[in-house]
Structure 1
């Protein structure tokens, strides 16, 4: 079906009858574009907008506004809900961390404290590489004479519930008295426990025999290696007694010792490293059985480092110490007086 240009022109100008309008409308619904010559630029410029009455315009505006605001409000509500959810999540995490942080902090502090405690313990080893006995003073003031080739180990700090040392070889012990902290020597599977006494232990590396000789006081000797031994033993030694343990056949023999203190066990020298003079004088008093009088305030800041040969007289030793520290030494009826 075709429509004349004249009819189309009259249709757009609103001059068609009702039948012509239906005819043109049907035609226009079946085509995509109008011919370019139907509407010139001058005609387009003269074309006016179609008028809509106020009531219809207000109705259309209300409908559009309702749909637009609904979408805006819905979008705002979604945004507000999302923001609220984020804030609540942050508050929950902060509250959880606040409740748990003290215990976690305490746990971390405890772990650090335990680690520090574990790292605070160290081991000290003393080995005699010389051909002569060497005398050492332990932190509790006990004196040990270590024989050639022997090794002594102990933990630092030394005193806890008990004083413990580990021996490989032969040593003489003169234990300082301390009833609250037993002194224990471990050597090749046996332990020797004392409170304040003197004894000698021989536990050579390649020997099957372990020997404990008691000189003064009382000690308890027992087997602590229950894994490789057939039976355990506990022996209390009195002065002059000697225990010999055969580790190969698990046999113990207690007999009289030949001498209470053998000549080889006699301490020949005292070694000091930054030792306070009070401690030095105390050991000299104990060894020489003399009274050394002094004012503690005078020697409070003084110390001594070196070896004192105990084959010397006490007078010559004190003279040497006094000269080094610019002190005066005087012989008295009871012993010696040291002063500034």
Structure 2
């Protein structure tokens, strides 16, 4: 473990990957370089001062144990006197130290860090050919696409809600302003407070994509070891960030909509941050069905994306309700939308 990396860790400058390496090292070692105790901590350490009356008492004990009339002490008496002196010094310093503030040593810091970082890792890998739905401990949901992997710590919520992603995943984040939701993927972090977005970071691909559906996210580079270009972008709904790791290039654009022929334009509906009530009204008109819902259940819910009207309405309703944690039920009059 290099001293440079240890210094970065104690200064809070490590990337998540570097932090994990240092944490593993700290859990296995008892001794750290002495210089890791900062100068300010040494300067603030209070020295024990022996009062004058204690000094006089010590001197009297020394005189009694080392001088007996005019006779020279033999070796045994000298040894005994030295032992008594050491014992007295030890008792005096022990008594003084009880009343003195204890210095904050680096070793104690390391032990406290070890206790604070006692966590376990949970990993979920989608080995199937179907999308896999996962509910996190904070009630956020993740759709893991085939071949994708998700890792997070237990306990999940500490200062931040942190996720490590390989492959592609769709995230529906539960709002929690005190604990930002952060996804790390191939040297890029995406931070959200409560929103929905899709990240694509396939292992063999040179592209990393972050597509925002609702809310707002902050996307930035965090990997200094692989020479990722430094960038920091705030995405709004309907925007997409693409990082090309081979060219070390970042671009932000509107979400791409497939090119369609003029005669097919009526078969696709495009929405950008549209209220769900508006989306359901368009579907009712096109499919000539009744969609029943409680308007209060749809407050603050919106949809951004393209709907292919060639699909059955059940498929479209399933996609929209899953994104917003709603249920859809077929009835004799049409479809009923309700909260889960």
Computing the radius of gyration over CA atoms, which structure comes out larger, 1 or 2? 1
TM-score normalised by L of structure 1: 0.50
TM-score normalised by L of structure 2: 0.50
